[in-house]
A and B are shown apart, each in its own frame.
Chain A
């Protein structure tokens, strides 16, 4: 019996160390020019620490004056590899005026480079902002799960090099595949669920602050109003 194939990816963010190997491997695999990315590792730092009420920090031991239970900052650094989600309901395909964007039977969302007219509409419509226009060739491009590799039985370039095996790629429809196992076992989250795009890139341990494009953005209005209160 022919096994149905639907490619998907699970990224275990607990294991991600923010090494940028996926990002550079992707640049190498696709010769992506400078200034555009098919995958990138968003990195944030977050945490809490009450600012000192008095401004006199003792020079010898600045932390010593604080109560022991709140002595040190509680902070963390988080990473989020961001790539095309190969949605089940890809808005990019819907809006392409010439039908250059299409979804393969195995679930990979692709762009036909011979048909794309470079109107940028798909770029404007994609809620994940993963599409870009290649400044050298003038083509609209994005992550294609390394379709040429996958077709030859190789995992995508980013998955292959991930030093901590944080990225797992496989057939979502095969119950014995690692991705399917992770999906059923782990607490899974996707990006921008409210966009009704039904993504096929899943994250384990996704934090709301890193998934939120507006957090840490210099002009975060809610934050500013909050400060006033």
Chain B
């Protein structure tokens, strides 16, 4: 740098004087900043395009900043009411996806055997022709289930429209494996699949198996509010978790509970609360379908002493925490994967919910609130018959995992399996079986994978279609509002599609027109943008504010004149048959399940006979779609198995030894981490690592590309971890259908 440049620098800092008040204020709580960016090279403001992050269910508002036409950075959108301009590591690393040299550049058709990895580049026209000819036959003369569509999340927008119009599709989504139990447990209880814990206003947060410090459904926005609750409202955070997660390690109290028994502790707490007369009688009488006396009598069969024997949490602690919880209102009990990803997940979830109910902490400030969203009307909705979500056991049971085992047993003979941004060959429990079935041309005659990466599943496809990522496509979203004032977010392309990739919605519009028949009349719009405009125009107030144009400029819209109103059930009642919170579920009873919140021991967990329970958990930076993100893999590329120090000593496993973990499905050998921060009967391992496909970076392989960073992968020797999925038995909760990720019994030995 020359002296002149230095002077420039000093002069450049003059604006800082002007802004220093603004910076001086950059402090706590809802003081929002962000949304602006200057170029590092020219110091000129960069053009920002607001959109919605799709890397996790939180759907934070983002702004993509462009230097020239290159996406250089992703920042948080300060106008977004959930994340308030904040963003997590995953969202920030989304830039890695934009120009990743590992992405698929053109449609590919298999050459030679399936899974051999030999591909022929084909044109989009040829790809469409191949797929259309098969879909046409199914559309004209097939039966339900001949076309199987699978995606990571429940399809919405144009995808949903196509699938409903097509009519004969079986829809699978990965989320049902992870959230199925939670969704159904809550749906049956209060008519919503998930709620919003209003932690910013709570005085007491009782956390069962959730890990908001590392991952959460509303991560960036939720954790900020949780901190507000903890440090402004001085809320106490009590965590029940089998391992010392970041949350457990920062809680005021942590109880290493035995896995799958959270429901039992919650029941015992509810029992204590009712016995000590700390419950909210009015709320129970008015808003639940069970009288207080009947509930008290029912709960009396769950004394804390019994819970102590089952869960390992001392009876005195259960009693104390229960009383603290009920006496420091507003208090909220939250739950997470540690509660619901069990064979008894639905029951567990209902037990935790019971705690919120009996203290009346439902939809009050600092309580467990109803999700507030906008519902989008379908354009030309008369074409569709209105169907309400029904509690249908058959429907619930088909998860991607169930589907595979049914195909294997010949109970299901799909003609075309279409997978979009889902990776069952890697993500499914018992993933070896999934690969085996997907490889078998007799079982799955034709498989199409639409993805931006050559995932483990895409490697088994007949045709691979390159799709755009969330940074290159349209979408509209109304996630539950953390500040209970609903909003609408717009996902719009920040950059043009990578290479020859095409947004999935455009693929299906094209397919609909090519299949013909009755399908094209559902797609009377020229582009996805036009479709979204139609959807947005369905919201009256938004239309007044400027409609799609407003959304394009701001990325998000909400009615700022509305004050948040709690206790909305008082006017709308709950979305259940009785209109109340169904502590007693008639629907469960009809299907032959326990109608009241109950505890059911997990088979085999009572007496482990020397076995251990393998639990899996989500690391804080690595999600399902982020496997090939260089900045995230750099942070998280190893997943040693956690094992209790006492136990390791007992098994004569010493520092530096590798351990072997086996189930009936197989085994793997990996590094161990010895700690007291885990229940002695549990071993824990991170998910989302140990890819054998996906991309070079996901596999920790150095390679030369335009990006010099790909040649700097320093963790090549350390490897990319290991995936526990091949040895996790595909058992699921009979009600919710969610996978019991945390119930696998394993044998461990020194390798």
Contact = CB atoms under 8 A, between A and B. Distances in A.
A73 B646 CA distance: 12
Contacts of A14: 231
Quick one: which of B12, B221, B608 has the most chain A CB within 10 A? B12
A106 B13 contact: yes
Interface stretch (A16-24, A193-201, A221-229): A16-24
Nearest to A146: B40
The DSSP consensus for interface residues of chain B is: mixed
A20 B16 contact: no
B307 to A, nearest CB: 11
Contacts of A52: 646
A191 interface: no
Interface string A153-175: 11100011111111011110010
A170 B19 CA distance: 10
B220 interface: yes
Contacts of B2: 114
Contact of B646 (A51, A71, A78): A51
A153 B34 CA distance: 11
Interface in A43-89: 45, 47, 49, 51-52, 55, 57, 59-64, 68, 71-73, 75-78
Contact of A19 (B36, B223, B680): B223
A20 B224 contact: no
B250 A77 contact: yes
Interface stretch (B21-29, B287-295, B446-454): B21-29
Contact of A105 (B10, B25, B86): B10
B677 A2 contact: no
Nearest to B73: A28
A35 B92 contact: no
A3 interface: yes
B681 A62 contact: yes
A22 to B, nearest CB: 9
Question: What class of interface size applies to chain B in its complex with A?
Answer: 35 or more
B1 A115 contact: yes
Nearest to B646: A52
A205 to B, nearest CB: 11
B540 interface: no
Nearest to A110: B9
The DSSP consensus for interface residues of chain A is: loop
Quick one: which of B15, B246, B308 has the most chain A CB within 10 A? B246
Contact of B677 (A64, A75, A150, A154): A75
B610 A34 contact: no
Nearest to A167: B26
A66 to B, nearest CB: 10
Interface string B541-561: 000000000000000000000
B565 interface: no
Interface in A180-195: 180
A176 B43 contact: no
A29 B38 contact: no
A179 interface: yes
A64 B13 contact: no
B637 to A, nearest CB: 11
Contacts of B621: 19-20, 24
A200 to B, nearest CB: 14
B10 A104 contact: yes
A17 B227 CA distance: 9
Nearest to A114: B1
A217 to B, nearest CB: 14
Contacts of A102: 6
B594 interface: no
Contacts of A3: 17, 20
B249 A75 contact: yes
B442 to A, nearest CB: 44
B632 interface: yes
B316 interface: yes
Contacts of B250: 17, 76-77
A106 B12 CA distance: 11
Quick one: which of B31, B85, B89, B677 has the most chain A CB within 10 A? B89
Interface string A98-124: 000010111000101111000000000
Given A33-B712, A152-B38, A171 B223 contact: no
A27 B708 contact: no
A51 B646 CA distance: 6
A151 B24 contact: no
B429 to A, nearest CB: 25
A168 B28 CA distance: 8
A12 to B, nearest CB: 8
B88 A113 contact: no
Contacts of B86: 21, 161-163
A152 B677 contact: no
A28 B676 contact: no
A68 B314 contact: yes
Contacts of B607: 59-60
A59 B605 CA distance: 10
Interface string B393-423: 0000000000000000000000000000000
B15 A151 contact: yes
A223 to B, nearest CB: 13
A5 interface: yes
Given A135-B712, A162-B86, A152 B23 contact: no
A20 B679 contact: no
A2 B14 CA distance: 10
A55 B24 contact: no
A148 B677 contact: no
B309 A61 contact: yes
B676 A55 contact: no
A108 to B, nearest CB: 9
A29 B74 CA distance: 9
B645 A153 contact: no
Contacts of B36: 152, 154
Contacts of A64: 308-309, 312
A152 to B, nearest CB: 4
Given A34-B630, A161-B76, A21 B92 contact: yes
A140 to B, nearest CB: 13
Given A168-B26, A178-B27, A2 B15 contact: no
26 contacts: A18-B214, A20-B635, A34-B712, A45-B677, A57-B647, A60-B606, A60-B608, A63-B256, A64-B309, A75-B254, A75-B676, A104-B9, A148-B43, A149-B38, A151-B13, A152-B43, A153-B19, A154-B37, A154-B38, A160-B33, A160-B85, A161-B75, A161-B85, A163-B86, A171-B23, A178-B24
Given A23-B89, A24-B92, A149-B37, 5 more contacts: A33-B709, A59-B607, A75-B677, A151-B16, A161-B34
